[in-house]
Amino acid sequence: MKFVRVKPDKKILEATASRAVCSVVFGKKYEICIIAGLEGDELACYAVFSHIPGTDAEMYMEYLYTVPEFREQGRIWKLLEYCESYLAGIGVRIITSRIDIVHEYALEYNSFMTRNGFIPLNLTGRILVYDLKDMLGAETIQTVLKGMHLLPPVKRINEIDKKHINAFLDEENHTGFYFYREECDECYSRFYEADQKIHGAMIASMPVEGTLDISAIYIDALAKKNNMFLPLFCGCIEPLISKASQEKITIIINLNDEVLYNGMLKIFNPPECERLVLEHMKYIAGR
């Protein structure tokens, strides 16, 4: 088997990867590296890596895939070994894997990663996928949308003082809340601000037409007390409501908070699709 770096192929990715992975690859927010394993001229497996421009020392592994007829033959092990060697050669020192996966494969995948020297970081994150039209049918959403003018206002990023944004970024970077200015889509991201401080944030964008990706959620004690989750969420989807009757709009929500997760399921149950997010990390310096 030979290994080559390839350009993103939309047809192949949409046929084999989840919509969340496709959103990352085609969202143009990250630099993408895809390494494929070939048997002759035939695709056997591939791995998708991403990184934020200017952060060359760390790569995020977004996806691993093996074509069905080549599975259980050790090819993915060889691919991962090659990827680590290749990435180390271009200056990468840490691989952080954030893979979304269906529940029945979670334990098997976690075992595979730990046997390859990866340290488990988080086994509780989830991605929920909904059809916006189904969500709009929920009585709770209709009530919030009708009463938005009576609730504390949620704001777009261009409506907030940059000093408050910078203070928010500096504070939350220390608590593991990954938030980058490039991801603050002015059309969809929403913030709850009070007393000259950001208390709630929902970072959303539409990297792929017809798919709104809510990639990060932050709700502090004040935002929880004021029940700001739904107003923030409704603020994100509001620009898309008029489209929902004419076309299918998919909503992808990344959740790492058990309370928010259980709350989502109470409001919108069941989701169109639910996937676990498994996070692992490996140092590859000196390979």
Chain segment 30-86, per-residue pLDDT in tens: 889 999 999 998 999 999 999 877 777 889 999 999 999 999 888 999 999 999 999
pLDDT of residue 173: 52
Q: Looking at residue 256, which CATH number applies to its domain?
A: 3.40.630.30
Is 266:145 a contact under the CB 8 Å cutoff?
Answer: no
- For residues 36 and 79, what is the distance between their CA atoms, to the nearest angstrom? 8
* Whether the bond into 239 is cis, omega within 30 of 0: no
- For residues 229 and 8, what is the distance between their CA atoms, to the nearest angstrom? 35
- For residues 135 and 141, what is the distance between their CA atoms, to the nearest angstrom? 7
Confidence grade of residue 175 (pLDDT, cut at 50, 70, 90): very low
- The answer to the question of residue 54 being in a domain is yes
- The answer to the question of residue 167 being in a domain is yes
pLDDT of residue 172: 56
Residues 118 and 191 in one domain: no
Residues 116 and 164 in one domain: no
* pLDDT tens profile 75-123: 999 999 999 999 999 999 999 998 888 888 888 889 999 999 999 987 6
Listed range (77-91, 146-160, 163-177, 254-268) with the worst mean pLDDT: 163-177
Its pTM stands at: 0.75
Confidence grade of residue 286 (pLDDT, cut at 50, 70, 90): low
Structural domain total, the chain = 2
Q: Going by DSSP bridges, is the β-strand pair 119-131/190-194 parallel, antiparallel, or unpaired?
A: unpaired
| Structural domain boundaries enclosing 228 | 139-267
Residues 98 and 161 in one domain: no
